[in-house]
Each structure stands twice: as structure tokens, then as C-alpha cells.
Chain A
């Protein structure tokens, strides 16, 4: 509750989007531009999961309603827990303590999960994509080795827009 600090909206900005909405849009796009060759059911729905961020989860549910990606339906697996996360195609882990981050990445090791986290510390620790807010705009960093290990193929479009990171 740091009341003294107030953000003044930058009058130069044309579009003003809330973080959860923007994150949901990015997660949707990651699902659009990735492939899961090892997928058990290649025609089945794509499952997106969010951990520790109710606002982003709600925004994602609204965003994907009725949408499909490459002919596949999209569902958001609500209330994902460490038991169910290996079944997610895209897993977003909201800002976590480094130790929690590492623990969750351990849980999904070996499973074809496109892991997304906050900050470029996330891909440095073995996650695949890290969402960064720089100068008021959202960017992302990708760890291509982590994607390879997980068996997730990222399109060259994603890789070209990302900041590449090694762990």
C-alpha cells in the first residue's frame, strides 16, 4: 500500500492496456506460434494454464472464448495445481520466488510444456519464455535450449521478435 506513489498516465500513449489483459494476449499468441510435435492428441484442444495470477487467468478465459488456433480449440485449465500442470500446453507462472520458480520447472521437466514466467530471470533459470515490461511496453525473452529440451517447437516469428537468452 505505497500510497505516495501514483502513476500518471503518459499523455503520449494511444493505447492503454492493463497488464493482465496484455499478458493474456501474449499467452494466446505464444500458443498460436508454437507446435507440440510430441503431442499425444494432435487434434485435441490446446490447454492453457495460469499459476498464481487470478486476474490474468480471468482475462485469458475471456480472450480465448470461442477462439481456435490452427484448427484446435483452446481451453483454459482453471485452478491449475502442481499435479495437473504437466498436461498444460502453455503454462504461465506469475511472479514467483526464485525457489518456487525452480521447483515448478522441475515438476514439468520432460513434459512438452511451453513455460512462461515474469522477467528475463525466468528463461535464465530454465523456463522457455520470460515476459518483461520495458519502458511501459511488454516484451519477451526466449531460451531456445529450454524449448528444445521440452520438445516444443517455436516459430521463427516468435524467435525473431524475442530477446534470446541462454541458461
Chain B
């Protein structure tokens, strides 16, 4: 009798297991399973099929929430210093140059940055204007940085990399957080409250930050302090297969960017700074709906509206953007496919202030795009991903950006991957329509280029009629075309249990059609009540360049809660002027240091505290005459109670002040950044 029961039971279970072999397993089917059987099943992550970081065939670095907290850093560009292959340089207190794998500039135009899928890349400037983003970092879940072209997925202007700042779902940020910090350079106060009602959760926050003056080479304060206020909210709702997210924010800020005063009538022409205020206001709303089926396929639609206004000493700029994107993701046999498309409408107005003009001063562009990505499993260890994006732009020529990637699971904890891709950068309003001409006499001596210096000393040597005032400047080019980039890279990853990981990448790429400034023939014109000679340069796409480098990340976890990690980046560039007469094309080193590294140690301080020490080295940038520097940061956190903690942090502890970049090409004063320290108190309730 007993053996019959046992046989019948086995038969039922085997029949039961036949049910599970079908792709879709319903909850009721699982009721029959034993614990042992449940523990043997393969889990697929329901909503977004997130892949383990080790299986991504790209140079990805994820700055986790924990890493954000332990860095003691309070802004996104500063946090990007943690990522290998990324160059971050502060030009002055409120201006930063950030790029991936070289070609850094205030208007670094090859890096795409997004917050929750909303692009914060400013099309007119072809750059991210970092001073408008002041997110409350407690609510950032992670920052994903992909070095290398992201054009196949993200479209144009993701030439060298993509930064995706992902905020935490509001269901995970319940309760309140209040933080106040005061420091020698930075101060802030922030408050957030999150809660839930029914199936929905929400949070709302407000944050104000103030930043102090950097130092001029003379030792005086640069008067480039700035402050901003940001406020925003996020709500999330989920029921069954549907999830909806809605968020919005407004921000307003005031800075003194330290533009050179180039006005012909300027009383203080050539003086170190223009103390004109710059103001920015931005506002955005974003909504997203995701539907995931039981088999794991998903469909997502996202729409956002974003408007920004800047008033600067050199002009004012208004922009509004409407964007709708959709994508569908499903697996078909060995193929894992994502298909999507989007529509974006951007309206921009740019009005220059003497001596800047922009023609046309307005642009309305419509960008439509379609992309597809197919990950094909070959055998049991190899995965090949093919992707491409096609973009049509009313303002510029359309472009096709393909990429091929492969990943090989060499062994249980080892991966080798390789990728080849092509990306483009589309011309901007400024590339095409800029016009700025200012008196040579107003240019500060330190900012004179060699050709300007010759013009000033001996105009006759350049064939100019003597005695006439000279105007210098730059003009855009209505026929300015796309910059193109083809890149090949490969990487290796190894993990040793949960104790250590190593991630190495090597890359080489070729640029075509890079922007140069070509001299135009001098012309006699009428300015300031009399004849003058105008010697201008024009943007053209002349230069070709090659870049190559390697990036290494290592992490180690030892003993009880002691962790160490570090990164190392090497970078080299060479150019082919291709007929360009721009001195920058001849002397090209990629505007980035050859070597950068950082080391970090995190250790507990007794039962209530935590100490982190960061050491950074940034090598010199020869073409810009910027010296290298070593930086030491430290952070100590002390939990006063279950709900409050005290944090003391210091940055740039090794030197009084140091320079990081230069501003001549964008007519901004570069200053020295000071040592700083901050004390913060945070309270959670």
C-alpha cells in the first residue's frame, strides 16, 4: 500500500514537473512544488531583465548608492571622478569640463548624460551644462557610466560615452530625510519626504546648495560663487503587469561664470573677470508606463517635456523639448530583441549679447529615431549582440549608428568581451550660427594665442594695413557637418568568490571630421565708428584623430567590512591635421591626461562609524599647459543614533589650491580650486 502511494505521488510530481517545462509557470503550478524543487528553478528577473554587470559586452562602471555615500562628494560631475576613463576638471567654481576618453572641454560634446532616460545634453551648446543639475543624491539609486560609443542604442551625441543617472523608485524612499551641511566651500540644506497610499508611492524634495569662490592665480578670491535651489517629486504605481512612474522637477540657479569681458566699449577690458551674473531656470516632467507579461516580454512608453532658460553675460538661451519614446523587448528562441523608436521636438532661441551674435537665432528641430538590438546566444557560452540606430534630424543630416558586440563566458567567473561601433555628433546651433568678434586689445595677455600675439606685435607681418584696430573672433559654419567616430574595444572580467573583482578594457578609435578653427582671410570692416580689420576663424570639420587607451578596475573585500578599490586609466591620442591650419590640430593630445588613477579604502570605525579615504592622481594635460595633481579626500561618518548621523568630509587635502583646466578656448577664466571641508548632519524619520 505504502509503495503504491509513493509511486502515485512520484507520478503526480513528475506530471507536475512536465507542467513546469512549459515556458509560462503559473503561481498555482508552483504550489505543488517542494522547497527543494523551488530552490532548483531558474529565476528570470520579472520587469526589466537586468543582466549581471559581469555579462555586459561593454565598458560599464556602476556607481552604486553605497559608493556615492562613501565618496563624500555632493555633485554628479564630482562623482564621475570615480570612473576610469572619465576626465573631470573644474575650470572654476561653477564650470566643469567632463568627458569620456578625451576631447575634454567646457562644451564637451561627445558625452550623453541622462537622468531616468531624459537627456540633459544641451543641443545648442552640444554639451551638458552641469550647473543646472543638483539632484538629491540620497535618492539616486545608481549612476551607470558606459565608456565607448553608445550611438546604436542612445543615438547621436553619445560618441564617447553615456552617463545614466537612475533615481530610486519612490517605493524605496519612504520616510523623511533632512540634511544640513556647512563647509568652507560648499553648504547645503535638503529635505525629502516619501510615503505611500494604496498601490502608489511618492516622494517630494527640496534642496538648496551654495558654493564658494575659487582662487585667482594672484591669490584673491575669484568671486565665482554660485547657488541653486531644486525641488522635485516622483510617484510610482504598480498593479499586476503594469507599472507607471511620473516625476518632475524645477531648478533655478545663479552663478558668476567669469567670462572674459570682450566688449569693445568695456571700461575694464581685459580685466580678470566679468562679474555679471548668470541665471538658469529649468523645469521638467516625465512619465513612463511599463507593461511586463508573464513570459517576461515588456513594453515601455516614456514621454517628457523639459524647458530651460539661461541668461548669461554672453547672451540668453531658451529651449523647450518634447520627447516620446517607446520600446518593446522579447525573447524569441536564441534571440533576445529590443526594438524601439522615438520622436523629439526641440525649439531653441539664442540671442547673443555684444560681442556675440548667433545666426540663425532660432531653430526648431525634429528628431525621429528607430533602433533595434538583438542578442543572439551561440552555444552555451557565447552571446553576440547586434544593434543599430537610425536617426533623422530636420536640422542636420540623418545618421546610422551600428554596433557589434560579443561576450564569451570563458569560465564560471571569467568573461571576455569585444565590441566595434560607429557614432556621430550632430552639429549644433552654435556650430552653425555663432558669430563673435571682439577687439584684440580686450583679450587678457594670458589668453593670447600665438597667432594673436603676432597680430598684436606686428600686424604688417600678417599683411594687414597698419594702424587699424584689429578684431578677432570666431564664426560658425552653416555647412558644418557631422563628426564621426569608429571604435573597437575589448575587455576581460574576473571575480574571485565575493572577495575580489578585476575588470580591464582596452580600446582604439578613429575620429573623422573633428571640429577645427580655420583662419579666414582678413577683411576690412566698419566697427566702433571707424574702419577696422577683422581676423576670424571658422568652424570646419577638418581634423582626423586616433585615440587609444586602457582602463582597469579592481575591488577587494578583506576581513570584516574592510574594502579597497581602485582604478587606472591610460589614454593616448594623435592627429592627422588633414590640411587644417588650426594649431590645436597639430598639437593634439586629446586634451586629456595620459594617466589617471585612484585608490580608495573603506573601513569601519568602531561599531558606529565608518571612514573612507580616496587618493586620486590626474596627470598633466600637455597641450593645455595644465599640470598634473594628486588629490586626497577623506570622509568620516558617525551614527549618533538609529536616525541621525554626522558626516565630516574633506576634499583636495594635499594642497592649498591647484589648477585643473584652462578656459581660453571658451573665453572663461580658469582658476585655482581650493582645499575644502564640510560637516553635515543628517536625520531620517
Out of B26, B150, B153, B385, which one reaches A62, CB within 8 Å?
A: B26
Whether B426 is near chain A, meaning CB under 8 Å from some CB there, is no
A18 touches B296 (CB 8 A): yes
CA A74 to CA B658, docked complex, whole Å? 67
Known: A55-B238, A138-B39. A11 touches B377 (CB 8 A): yes
Q: Identify whether the interface residues of A are mostly helix, strand, loop, or mixed.
A: mixed
With known contacts A15-B25, A99-B684, A136-B43, A22–B30 Cβ distance under 8 A: yes
Asked if B49 and A22 make an inter-chain contact with CB atoms under 8 angstroms apart, the answer reads no
Q: Is B300's CB under 8 angstroms from A16's CB?
A: no
A54 touches B336 (CB 8 A): no
Q: How many residues of B contact A (CB 8 A)?
A: 73
CA distance A60 to B31 in the complex (A): 10
Query: Among the listed B35, B44, B684, which residue makes an inter-chain contact with A9, where contact means beta carbons less than 8 Å apart?
Result: B44
**Contact status B171-A7, CB under 8 Å:** no
Once bound together, how far apart are the Cα atoms of A54 and B40, in whole Å? 24
B2 touches A (CB below 8 Å): no
| Whole-angstrom CA separation of A29 from B35 in the bound complex | 7
Q: Which of B56, B173, B240, B296 contacts A54 (CB 8 A)?
A: B240
A148 at the interface (CB under 8 A from B): no
**How far, in angstroms, from A52 to B33 measured CA to CA in the complex?**
26
Residues 98-132 of chain A, each 1 if its beta carbon lies under 8 Å from chain B, else 0 = 01101100000000000000000000000000000
Chain B residues 190 to 243 lying within 8 A of chain A, measured CB to CB, are 196, 198-199, 201, 238-240
Q: How far is the CA of A9 from the CA of B60 in the complex (A)?
A: 21
A1 CA / B331 CA spacing, docked (Å):
18
A5 touches B50 (CB 8 A): yes
Instruction: Please name all residues of chain B whose beta carbon is closer than 8 Å to the beta carbon of A161 when the two chains form the complex.
Output: 35-36, 39
Q: Please, what's the 1-or-0 string for B144-176, where 1 marks a CB less than 8 Å from any CB in chain A?
A: 101000100110000000001010000111110
Contacts of A19 in B (CB 8 A): 43-46
- What's the minimum C-beta distance from A156 to chain B, rounded to whole angstroms? 12
Q: A43 near B: Cβ within 8 Å?
A: no
Chain A nearest Cβ from B291, distance in angstroms? 12
Could you tell me if A10 and B42 are in contact, using CB atoms closer than 8 angstroms?
Answer: yes
Q: Are B35 and A100 in contact (CB under 8 A)?
A: no
Bound complex: CA A97 to CA B172 (Å): 6
Which B residue's beta carbon lies closest to that of A66?
B28
A29, A33, A67, A97: most-surrounded residue (chain B CB, <10 A):
A97
Contact indicator B198/A79 (Cβ below 8 Å): yes
Q: Are B377 and A6 in contact (CB under 8 A)?
A: no
- One digit per residue, 1 when the CB lies within 8 angstroms of any chain B CB and 0 when it does not, for chain A 49-72 equals 000101100111011110100000
B642 within 8 A of A: yes
Which A residues touch B255, using CB under 8 A?
none
Does A20 belong to the interface (CB within 8 Å)? yes
| A3 partner, pick from B21, B39, B327, beta carbons under 8 A | B327
Q: Which residues of B contact A17 (CB under 8 A)?
A: 20, 25, 30, 41-44
In the assembled complex, A14 has its CB within 8 A of some CB on chain B: yes
- Asked if residues A137 and B41 are in contact (CB atoms below 8 Å), the reply is yes
Check A22–B38 contact: CB distance below 8 A: yes
On chain A, the residues within 8 Å of B132 by CB distance are none
B497 interface residue (CB < 8 Å to A): no
Bound-complex Cα distance A106 to B174 (A): 15
Q: A146 to B356: give the CA distance in the assembly, Å.
A: 70
Q: What residues on B are CB-neighbors of A133 within 8 Å?
A: 43
Q: Mark A4-42, 1 if CB is under 8 A from B, else 0.
A: 111111111111111111101110110001000000000
Q: Can you name the residue of chain B whose Cβ is closest to the Cβ of A61? A: B27
B44-57: CB near A (< 8 Å → 1, else 0) gives: 11111111000110
Q: How far is the CA of A99 from the CA of B116 in the complex (A)?
A: 24
Is B329 a contact partner of A21 (Cβ separation < 8 A)? no
The reply to whether B375 and A6 form a contact with Cβ atoms under 8 Å apart is yes
Q: Which residue among A17, A28, A60, A62 has the maximum number of chain B CB atoms within 10 Å of its CB?
A: A17
**B43-90, CB < 8 A from A:** 43-51, 55-56, 58, 60
Let me know if A83 is at the binding interface, CB within 8 A.
Answer: no
Q: Is B543 in the interface zone, CB < 8 Å from A?
A: no
**Are A21 and B27 in contact, with the CB atoms below 8 A?**
yes
- Shortest Cβ gap from B29 to chain A (Å): 9
Residues of chain B within 8 A of A18, CB atoms compared = 25, 43-44, 46, 294, 296
A95 to B329, CA, bound (A): 25
Per the 8 Å Cβ criterion, residues 69-84 of A in contact with B are: 79
From known contacts A13-B42, A138-B38, infer whether A55 and B240 are also in contact, taking CB-CB under 8 Å: yes
Which residue of chain B has the shortest Cβ distance to A135 in the bound complex?
A: B412
Which chain B residues lie closer than 8 Å to A58 at the CB level? 239-240
CB pair B31 A7 closer than 8 Å: no
- Report whether A100 and B153 are in contact in the complex, using a CB–CB cutoff of 8 Å: no
Report whether B38 and A25 are in contact in the complex, using a CB–CB cutoff of 8 Å: yes
* Inter-chain contacts of B175 with A (CB < 8 A): 99-100, 103
Taken together as a complex, chains A and B put the C-alpha atoms of A64 and B26 apart, in Å, by 12
List 27 A-B residue pairs with CB atoms under 8 Å apart, sorted by A's residue number: A1-B48, A1-B164, A1-B300, A4-B150, A5-B51, A5-B56, A6-B49, A8-B331, A8-B334, A9-B331, A16-B23, A16-B296, A24-B27, A25-B33, A54-B239, A55-B47, A55-B240, A59-B27, A62-B26, A63-B27, A63-B31, A97-B172, A97-B174, A99-B175, A99-B643, A136-B43, A137-B42
Known: A1-B300, A7-B45. 20 other contacts (CB 8 A): A1-B164, A3-B327, A4-B146, A5-B55, A5-B56, A6-B338, A6-B375, A7-B51, A8-B377, A9-B331, A15-B42, A17-B30, A18-B46, A25-B31, A54-B199, A65-B28, A95-B172, A99-B175, A138-B38, A138-B39
Report which A residues bind B (CB closer than 8 A): 1-22, 24-26, 28-29, 33, 52, 54-55, 58-60, 62-65, 67, 79, 94-97, 99-100, 102-103, 133, 136-139, 157-158, 161
